[in-house]
Structure 1
Amino acid sequence: MRLFWRPATAFALAFLCASLGTARAQQQPENIPWENSMAIAQKMAIGLLERQTGSKGLPLASFAIDVDLNLDGLPEIFAYRYAPGCDGVNCGNFLFVLEGDSYQEVLGDIPGARLVPQDKIALSPFKRNGFFDIQSDTMTIGWGGKRYVDASTLPASTLDGTAFVAACQKNKLSEQPSQGETEQVSAACQCQFNRFQKVGFTQADLDAYAASLMGEDFDYPIGDKEDAWLALSKSAQDVATGCEVASGKSQWPPAYFDHGDRPQQKLNFGAFLDACPAQDFIMTNHKIGSPDRALALCGCVAREIPTYGPT
């Protein structure tokens, strides 16, 4: 399966490498930063999986990694819980997303998602509602606002793209573009228009965004309509970036977390991740305020400790 951009490659390879088994892993050179990061994710996953499944601990051949699917700086946790003859209920693939004050498991309602092999999971170059689409075997799953769902079930639209494509091309092209540049711009604008339909843009939204590309004569919404316009603009920019990534012209910021580029020692994070979320100064912070958000913050802090120390 094609892996669309380098962070996605890391995302999928982590699944694959972790599922190779302990014996084979011992034959590979140590990558201590990755091992530290995965140890943090596994510790976080143990409690989340226990809450989700009622089963304690992680059986051998289970693993977890952290990934940032909405680029907000806080980790989502992908976990694979091994069980012989897994039925896809309390074992298999799990994805925990920090939604509001708590981690929510977001794969459970998608038929077959628990049992998809890890080497058939990859990130799409496109975002939807702020989260990356995920290719899960032959199914594309997208963020529906509260959880991941089969993207084919999400609203789409049929639009007239004449005004948008013209505005897009004019916005991108210089006065005397080369033939090759014209073709590239045409493809990029068509990609954006196609994606706007897939994510359910309305005709009014598309026409307003097209008008904004023309610049001087567009009256940007203010007051009560400003927030809606900002959300529309962000969604449109995500579409444009996705098309650039898909064409190889750009990259998203990494969807995986930095494992550090300094020498590290392999650490045990269990005691730290038990104690850190319970600290009063963390729990009472107005931006935290819940055990799961505290866990997410402490996971970020733990990831820094092997490189920068505890201070």
Structure 2
Amino acid sequence: MPADRFWAYEVDFNLDGLSEIYAYVADPNCDGVKCGLFLFVLEGDTYREVLGDVPGARLAAPDKVSLGTFKRNGFFDLQLDQRVLGWTGDRYADASTFPATLLDGTAFLAACEKSKSSEQPEEGEAEKIAEACQCQINRLQTIGFSQAELDQYSGSLGENFEYPGGGKDKAWQAVAANGSDVATGCDVAAGKSQWPSSSLSHGDQPQQKLNFDGFLDACPAQDFILTNHKTGSPDRALALCGCLAREIPTYGVSQEGMDLLAQYYRNEISDSDLEAQDADLLASHDKASEACLGAFPAK
């Protein structure tokens, strides 16, 4: 396909540190099937497309597509012009088709406000806390929390809460994860916080917008990446390389360092050559590799 008709970006839609692939195929007579917007999510050994079942989704203008403020089932809502798509747990669907609930939030609001309140509140703090907690109950209803789930989550905000299964119960973990995402989303909406870049253990430097093209071209084809027991397929190798490209700079690696690593991955320079030019580069690379592989999903 001609380069001027196609582009793709790696975007982490669920903040797990591993890339989803957001792509666009241009066609002036687009039928909304084989052209337009595409989103691929890694599942097992391969990337699977997850927008195809949403009528008209491919036809949204790329400049009117953005990530939402809130997450649903672990993935960010996706704003397509005037439409909002939410994650079903398997793919994106029109958010208007999701069932909402009507909950008694009295106990939750009391527990939420108590957990956020200080002993000596500053002027206006109580009102801000009430607004934050009301935002949460509104969103919990939007994502379809049941009354039993809300009551359980409310209890977890207090003291002496006994976590189901010692915290390892899967149903409870889902409730806790969704509740935590709602709380973070409300803080982000209020301008009090930002979503973390991912759940990985990062280096101590901010992620940088570097040119990763050379590295991403070379990395998935490298034998030690492709044959690692946690990868084992070209798609999984690409996902790992996307994670490496984002994480390596958090260990202080510059554009020059990324370009050197691209040469290394193309077998153009040896370990000793690399170390002679940047003594710390391989150590930084190995730390990022450990973080990415540690978060890599099972096949």
1:78-124 per-residue CA deviation (whole Å, 9 max, x = no partner) reads: 11111121111111111111133321111111111111112211111
The structural deviation recorded for 1:302 is: 5.3
Could you tell me how far apart the structure 2 residues matched to 1:160 and 1:270 are? 50
What stretches of structure 1 of length at least 5 have no aligned partner? 1-56
Is residue 2:175 matched to residue 1:229? Answer: no
1:28-52 per-residue CA deviation (whole Å, 9 max, x = no partner) reads: xxxxxxxxxxxxxxxxxxxxxxxxx
Could you tell me how far apart the structure 2 residues matched to 1:267 and 1:237 are? 35
- Aligned partner of 1:132 among 62, 76, 88: 76
Residues 78 and 85 in structure 2, CA contact (< 8 A), matched pair in contact too:
yes
Is residue 2:195 matched to residue 1:249? Answer: no
Q: 1:299 to 1:254 in 2, by over 3 A?
A: closer
Aligned to 1:101: 45
Could you tell me how far apart the structure 2 residues matched to 1:260 and 1:119 are? 20
Classify the secondary structure of the residue corresponding to 1:126: strand
Classify the secondary structure of the residue corresponding to 1:140: strand
Could you tell me how far apart the structure 2 residues matched to 1:286 and 1:300 are? 17
Matches within 5 A, 1:1-311: 57-216=1-160, 218-222=161-165, 226-254=169-197, 258-260=207-209, 268=214, 272=218, 275-276=221-222, 279=223, 281-301=224-244, 306-308=255-257, 309-310=260-261
- Paired residues, number: 247
1:191-248 per-residue CA deviation (whole Å, 9 max, x = no partner) reads: 00011111111111111111111112x2221269623222221211110000000010
TM-score, length of structure 2 as denominator length: 0.75
Residues 59 and 81 in structure 1, CA contact (< 8 A), matched pair in contact too:
no
| Greater RCO structure (CA 8 Å; 6+ sep) | 1
Q: Please say which of residues 288-297 and 66-75 is displaced more in the overlay.
A: 288-297
Classify the secondary structure of the residue corresponding to 1:222: helix
Could you tell me how far apart the structure 2 residues matched to 1:270 and 1:282 are? 12
Q: Please say which of residues 228-237 and 121-130 is displaced more in the overlay.
A: 228-237
Q: Please say which of residues 198-207 and 243-252 is displaced more in the overlay.
A: 198-207
What stretches of structure 2 of length at least 5 have no aligned partner? 199-205, 249-253, 265-299
Aligned to 1:19: none
The structural deviation recorded for 1:250 is: 0.4
AA matched with 2:114: K
Classify the secondary structure of the residue corresponding to 1:160: coil
Classify the secondary structure of the residue corresponding to 2:164: coil
Aligned to 1:27: none
Residues 167 and 173 in structure 2, CA contact (< 8 A), matched pair in contact too:
no
Q: 1:268 to 1:178 in 2, by over 3 A?
A: closer
Q: 1:110 to 1:157 in 2, by over 3 A?
A: same
The structural deviation recorded for 1:139 is: 1.0
Residues 8 and 23 in structure 2, CA contact (< 8 A), matched pair in contact too:
yes
Residues 173 and 182 in structure 1, CA contact (< 8 A), matched pair in contact too:
yes
